Amino acid sequence: MGVSSKLGNLGIVTTTVEQAVNHARTGAMWPLLFGLACCAIEYMSSQASSYDLSRFGMELNRATPRQADLLIVSGRLTRKMAPVVRQLYDQMAEPKWVISMGDCASCGGVYNNYAIVQGVDEIIPVDVYIAGCPPRPEQLLHGILTLHEKVKGERIADWA
Amino acid sequence: MAVAAPPQSPESIEEQRRWEGSLDQLRGLVSERAMTGETMLLNMGPHHPSTHGVLRLLLELDGEQIVSCLPDIGFLHTGIEKSIEDKSYEKALPLTDRMDYLSPMSNNMAYAAAVEKLLDLDVPERGQIIRVVCLELARCASHLVWLGTHAIDMGAMSVLLYAFRERERILGMFEMLSGQRMMSSYIRPGGVWRDVPADFLPTIKQFLNDFPYKVDDYEALLTKNPIWKDRAQGVGVIEPDVALAYGMTGPALRGSGVNWDLRKAQPYSGYETYDFNVPLGEHGDVYDRYLIRIHEFRESMKILNQAVSRLETVKGPFRSENGKYCPPPRSELGQSMEAVIHHFKLWTYGYDAPDDEIYSAIESPRGEIGCYIHGTGANKPRRVHFKTPSFIHISALPVVAKGYLLADMVAIIGSVDIVLGDCDR
């Protein structure tokens, strides 16, 4: 199973730096402990017993953006909150990724009005969008795995 | 080669400055000692793990002691009330789900009850029983999130895992009823969306069978836990007169020993026919509010048991059969021209409501959630306003928190159980 079967008795495994680094990055992508609205409750559900995000190395939420790799924008983003989210994103260390969870974060959802930013991508770059109001935990897991696929495809040239 | 962080735009920096506010603007709101630097001003939130959402508190601290506390709300202001003014009565319902997102059923009920009062619309008995089942399940689901997050705030990590295990079962039942786990839009003006499916009753009976033992488990983790007691007892005491003066409702009020529960005081949806008690606290501290919610689990179980046995015997329509306000059953659409006309009218135009203003309130897990509707005589309201418990509880935070330690602040916020979506709307 896995690496040990490929090792034989040599104790050596060959890979590329890209693959090794990307594997490490997807294996322990710490999200920022950050919730905005309804989606944050479903995000908590995914963290809890039934869905158990720790299967993907994500049980550790960091409350400070300095230690977080992944920003999950979970919920509707208001105009008053937008500068705060932008600041949180700016404070995160590279490499960093953003998942826009739910309809409100992705496109404003049902709230096309004066108060809501029509999609979080108006203020920060987004890697993966998840539809749903709110998305089920399974949808969030799918979004996270999609992000993992994206990260695994990253090249040295992109790291800079 | 390092990449420079994306530059902040001048507008965002400008907005930042306005948002932070200068010390001068705080004159009169904090004590004079803050102006000289004798006390410290500390910003808590809007991104803070223990503020239960996007609440910002400006705390003035003398050492670790809270001298004054200024809540800053509006970080989740969604314009729901304004949006409702542009929708017909039926179509506005899904927006109400998303106010207090821990118990959407209660919001639906508050809105539906208000619309029914405006239209003078009666709900059949079976519809009322299904509503009571939903409301009490929602109360349990909401209290479970409260229990988990409150325990995490106080340093007890594992309770959340237990609480969410049971919450998933309740959400599964909501999904069975409405097709959605959280934002169910199930309780609608005139009744409920549809009858309970056949496999709902066995599922809820199984749940009612198991849940009391699970509540015992939570109690075993917390109630006699000395660390929990030290953090909770004698902290965040709300005097009964303060609670009443600020208009607090729900467990936060009953924790202070004031017997006020709208299910008893102004019964709706047939609550007067159920046998249950209203748990009351003595000291009004964090611990009492914790005990009250734990007891409310058990009282909800009592109500649910009675309601489920009634569901088995009481048959009949689950929503009003007044075709002007409630859609006809699907089976009639192929046979009755009248049903087709009603259906078409309802989903295109809605219905007219009288030019009148009404207020009606229900007991949500957090307290009294009231809905004020001013009709226009046409299919859209002139004004809809929600009186929400979280807004009132946040307004009382400065009085409650004064004199306690900074670490007690998270306990106090957790114990009054605020939801920012409920507050800001």
Choice among A59-63, A148-152, B413-417 with the minimum mean pLDDT: A59-63
**pLDDT tens-digit readout, B15-31:** 656 545 566 777 777 77
User: Average pLDDT for residues A27-39, to the nearest whole number?
Assistant: 87
B206 near A CB under 8 A: no
State the Cα–Cα distance between residues B286 and A35, nearest whole angstrom.
Answer: 24
Cβ of A37 and B165 within 8 Å?
Answer: no
In terms of Cα–Cα distance, which of A64, A133, A69, A79 is closest to A99? A69
Residue A5 confidence (pLDDT) above 70: no
Please report whether residue B240 resides in a domain.
yes
Q: What is the DSSP string of B41-103?
A: EEEE-SS-TTSSSS-EEEEEEETTEEEEEEEE--TT---HHHHHTTS-TTTTHHHHHTTSTT-
Whole-number pLDDT of residue B132: 93
Nearest CA in chain B to A90: B5
- CB of B401 within 8 A of CB of B69? yes
What are the distances in angstroms from CA B329 to CA B112, B121, B388? 19, 18, 34
Nearest CA in chain B to A79: B75
User: What does DSSP say about strands B357-364 and B65-72: parallel, antiparallel, or unpaired?
Assistant: unpaired
**Residue in this structure with the two tokens 């800001």, named with its chain if needed:** B424
Please report whether residue B35 resides in a domain.
no
- CB of B421 within 8 A of CB of B142? no
> What ipTM does this complex have?
0.86
Please report whether residue B212 resides in a domain.
yes
User: Average pLDDT for residues A136-150, to the nearest whole number?
Assistant: 92
Nearest CA in chain A to B146: A41
CA A113 to chain CA centroid, Å, is 27
Report the run of H or E that residue B369 belongs to, with start and end: strand B367-374
Whole-number pLDDT of residue B140: 93
A74: chain B residues, CB-CB within 8 Å: none
B6: chain A residues, CB-CB within 8 Å: 90
B165: chain A residues, CB-CB within 8 Å: 48-50
Please report whether residue B321 resides in a domain.
yes
The pTM of this model reads: 0.88
Nearest CA in chain A to B99: A38
Restricting to B residues 278-337, those with a Cβ less than 8 Å away from any Cβ of A are none
State the Cα–Cα distance between residues A30 and A93, nearest whole angstrom.
Answer: 12
Whole-number pLDDT of residue B16: 58
Range of the domain at B313: 80-424
Whole-number pLDDT of residue B1: 43
Closest by Cβ to A50, choosing from B53, B145, B168: B168
A50 near B CB under 8 A: yes
B402 near A CB under 8 A: no
For A84, the token pair is: 């705060």
Whole-number pLDDT of residue B293: 92
Restricting to B residues 39-78, those with a Cβ less than 8 Å away from any Cβ of A are 46-49, 53-54, 74-78
Residue-averaged pLDDT of chain A: 86
A34 near B CB under 8 A: yes
Q: How confident is the model at residue A37 (pLDDT cuts 50, 70, 90)?
A: confident
Burial class (CB in 10 A: 0-12, 13-18, 19+), B203: middle
Cβ of B3 and A94 within 8 Å?
Answer: yes
Number of neighbours of residue A14 by Cβ within 10 angstroms: 6
Q: For chain A, give the percent of residues with pLDDT over 70.
A: 92
Cβ of A116 and B421 within 8 Å?
Answer: no
User: Average pLDDT for residues A131-159, to the nearest whole number?
Assistant: 88
For B292, the token pair is: 């009250």
For B110, the token pair is: 């508050």
A153 near B CB under 8 A: no
Whole-number pLDDT of residue A38: 87
Size of interface A-B (CB pairs under 8 A): 114
B19: chain A residues, CB-CB within 8 Å: 80, 83-84
Please report whether residue B365 resides in a domain.
yes
B171: chain A residues, CB-CB within 8 Å: 45
Angle among Cα B223, B227, B232 to the nearest 5 degrees reads 65
Domains of chain A in start order, with CATH, are 30-146 (3.40.50.12280)
Closest by Cβ to A63, choosing from B49, B102, B183: B49
- CB of A104 within 8 A of CB of A135? no
Burial class (CB in 10 A: 0-12, 13-18, 19+), B69: buried
Restricting to B residues 109-168, those with a Cβ less than 8 Å away from any Cβ of A are 145, 148-149, 160-165, 167-168
State the Cα–Cα distance between residues B251 and B239, nearest whole angstrom.
Answer: 13
State the Cα–Cα distance between residues B301 and A82, nearest whole angstrom.
Answer: 42
- Sequence-separated (6 or more) residues with CB below 8 Å from residue B289: B251, B252, B255, B281, B415, B416, B417
**Structural domain total, chain B:** 1
Q: What is the 3-state secondary structure (H, E, C) of B215-248?
A: HHHHHHHHCCCHHHHHHHCCCCCCCHHHHHHCCC
Give chain B's radius of gyration (CA, Å).
23
B3: chain A residues, CB-CB within 8 Å: 94, 160
Please report whether residue B394 resides in a domain.
yes
Cβ of B168 and A35 within 8 Å?
Answer: no
A136: chain B residues, CB-CB within 8 Å: 181
A76 near B CB under 8 A: yes
Closest by Cβ to A35, choosing from B53, B82, B182: B53
Closest by Cβ to A83, choosing from B16, B49, B163: B16
Whole-number pLDDT of residue A90: 92
- CB of B123 within 8 A of CB of B131? yes
Please report whether residue B66 resides in a domain.
no
In terms of Cα–Cα distance, which of B146, B393, B124, B363 is closest to B259? B363
- Note down pLDDT in tens along chain B; length 425 residues: 455 555 667 777 776 565 455 667 777 777 777 777 788 888 887 887 776 778 888 888 888 899 888 888 888 898 899 999 988 998 899 999 888 888 899 999 999 999 999 998 989 999 999 999 999 999 999 999 999 989 988 888 889 899 999 999 999 999 999 988 888 889 999 889 888 998 999 999 999 999 999 999 999 988 888 988 888 888 889 989 999 999 999 998 998 989 989 998 899 888 999 999 999 988 888 999 999 999 999 999 999 999 999 998 988 888 888 888 888 888 888 898 988 999 998 889 888 888 989 999 999 999 899 999 998 888 899 999 999 999 999 999 889 888 899 888 888 988 888 888 888 88
- Sequence-separated (6 or more) residues with CB below 8 Å from residue B309: none
Please report whether residue B320 resides in a domain.
yes
Closest by Cβ to A83, choosing from B12, B167, B183: B12
Residue A144 confidence (pLDDT) above 60: yes
Give chain A's radius of gyration (CA, Å).
17
In terms of Cα–Cα distance, which of B260, B252, B224 is closest to B417? B252
B77: chain A residues, CB-CB within 8 Å: 78, 80, 115
The domain spanning residue B250 has which CATH number?
A: 1.10.645.10
Angle among Cα A56, B175, B262 to the nearest 5 degrees reads 115
Burial class (CB in 10 A: 0-12, 13-18, 19+), A30: middle
Burial class (CB in 10 A: 0-12, 13-18, 19+), A92: buried
